[in-house]
Chains A and B, each alone.
Chain A
Amino acid sequence: MRIEPAVEVTGLVKRYGTRTAVDGMDLTVPRGSVTAVLGPNGAGKTTTVEVCEGYRRPDGGSVRVLGLDPVTQGAELRPRIGVMLQSGGVYPGARAAEMLRHAATLYADPVAPELLIGRLGLEACGRTPYRRLSGGQQQRLALAMAVVGRPELVFLDEPTAGLDPQARHATWDLVRELRADGVTVVLTTHYMDEAEQLADNVVIIDRGRAIAEGTPEELCRGGAENTLRFTGRPGLDVASLLNALPADALAAELTPGNYRIEGKIDPQLLATVTSWCAQHGVLPDRLSVERRTLEDVFLELTGKELRA
């Protein structure tokens, strides 16, 4: 039997007036996974997430969240999901702890608010009104409110935007813990390291549609961009080295004694290079393998120009 995904979006279209914000989006979030949605400003991340949360009615395509239609079955869906908006959501005059406690009273069996307050480092500002919290404290309160109801699925829209490194790590730990406890997490982010650290599944979107998807490793492995470098005696026989390598690999002496090999850098290729060196009496010095980072992949796919 097919296990139904937590979120299944197919061919989603969403327009604001004449502007098409989401244009044929496909997104599948497996149960129990952490899925990171990456994309430039204005790519349609928030819009997609808000359609899933039931805030917006799709103009086309289909959306299923926990097997339900978020618009027509919202009342049934809402107690089962947790939501962190990209910003706001709290009474300016409400104190941090007061608001979290209130959020907890809306659920049947919430996590104890005090535990979340301690965990996210909000003890010192529990009595501070929301409008006087720092941006990072506001973010952490919103995160706590999203998970306090023990949801099956949480949507976090840029949960670590503007956080200091400590708070970012606390957030990451919380996300990992959610995953370990069987909660499905969908988060949007502009931080590649965040996606690499946390996500089982990365979806890169641009101009309202998904343009790449996979585990972080899969996305970085794709293409032929990986590089192996070493230094050795100048003037080695590059042609002979090339002969030893797979057909699609490239080798060159960039500057005297500095060699670069481009191609699918796998253990096999590394072994080939070192045994070629052994045969030629070369000790490869400063041998290094450079893999593409997610950021390389992201920029390659979405281009380098700024978005409107």
Chain B
Amino acid sequence: MSTATTDTAFAQGAFTPRPGAAPLPRMIRAQALLETRMLLRNGEQLLLTVVIPALLLVLFSAVDIVDTGAGRSVDFLTPGILALAVLSTAFTGQAIATGFERRYGVLKRLGASPLPRWALMTAKTCSVLVTEALQVVLLTLIALALGWSPHGDPLAIVLLLLLGTAAFSGLGLLMAGTLKAEATLAAANLVFLLLLVGGGVIVPLDKFSGGVQDVLRLLPVSALSDGLRDVLQHGAGMPWGDLGILAVWAVVGLAAAGRWFRWE
């Protein structure tokens, strides 16, 4: 393909116009790999997506800090921690990273490249999914070492994780595309903390009073952790109710992000 580019000096004609976009799959793959590298290279992101979930899992399984009901605590905790992992990557991490990319003109500059915007978003999604896969493998290994015995239909788990990712991505991108980067940073971390406590991740929702509980059950992270728990801990079939809640969040979040996202 490129013949004139192997010389070490700039021969006459080095810049002779030969414009053209690379094939789409090549662009998307390169972009997804770059995004993933950026994420894995970022210390704070790793803290959020890897260290915190792993630490919480180990800590709360080993020490009886919260009463997790009947059964072993690792069986209760692991589904919640998996939900937290999805939250940390698809929502918090993605919102913060995208917010700063917007602020630093990265999204703007990519907008002048041959990479279409939908392809950029596809690449971002791929990078989130790759990260989540790494998180799930790591957390599963830790949980198994702690004596976790999972049940249930893997298809239901995959479906829950994907819908959860879609719901959190929509909300995270909505935040990143409308607020200032610093505001996104603060808000995304705050939401992460609040949902960690009030989203049925490590504290069972029935610890809250009736009215509050009913509201909390509608949160996406509650639906995800509840659905994962039903399947993984209790071996239930398709958790349609939780999938429904996640689907509504996903549609609303992604539609709102599509409507209000500003690229610069």
Binding site for B on A (CB under 8 A): 53-55, 75, 78-81, 83, 85, 87-94, 98, 102-103, 105-112, 115, 118-119, 145, 147, 149-152, 177-178, 180-183
CB distance from A208 to the nearest CB of B (A): 21
Interface string of B30-41 (1 = CB under 8 A from A): 110010011001
Residues of chain A lying within 8 A (CB to CB) of residue B21: 78-79, 106-108
Question: Which of these, A89, A118, A177, A182, contacts B104 with CB under 8 Å?
Answer: A89
Contacts of A106 in B (CB 8 A): 21-22, 27, 30, 113-115
How far apart are the CA atoms of A218 and B104 in the complex, in Å?
A: 40
**Contact present for B20 and A79 (CB under 8 Å):** yes
Interface size on B, residues (CB 8 A): 41
Report whether A151 and B2 are in contact in the complex, using a CB–CB cutoff of 8 Å: no
Write 23 A-B pairs (CB below 8 A) sorted by A numbering.
Answer: A87-B105, A88-B106, A89-B104, A89-B109, A91-B106, A94-B34, A94-B38, A102-B31, A102-B34, A107-B21, A108-B22, A109-B1, A109-B2, A109-B18, A109-B20, A111-B14, A112-B2, A145-B109, A149-B19, A150-B17, A177-B15, A178-B15, A182-B16
Partner-A contacts on B (CB < 8 A): 1-2, 5-8, 10, 12-22, 26-27, 30-31, 34, 37-38, 41-42, 100-101, 104-106, 108-109, 111-116, 264
Residues of B within 8 A of A147 (CB): 15
Q: Which residue of B lies closest to A101 (CB)?
A: B30
Bound form: Cα–Cα A271–B10 in Å? 46
A102: chain B residues within 8 A (beta carbon)? 30-31, 34
B8 touches A115 (CB 8 A): yes
Out of A85, A108, A109, which one reaches B108, CB within 8 Å? A85
A residues in contact with B12, CB < 8 Å: 180-181
Quick one: which of A108, A115, A180 contacts B20, CB cutoff 8 A?
Answer: A108
Pick from B20, B42, B108: contact of A93, CB under 8 Å: B42
Q: Contact at A115–B17, with CB atoms within 8 Å?
A: no
Task: Name the A residues within 8 Å of B38 (CB-CB).
Answer: 91, 93-94
3 tightest A-B CB contacts, nearest first: A88-B105, A89-B109, A108-B20
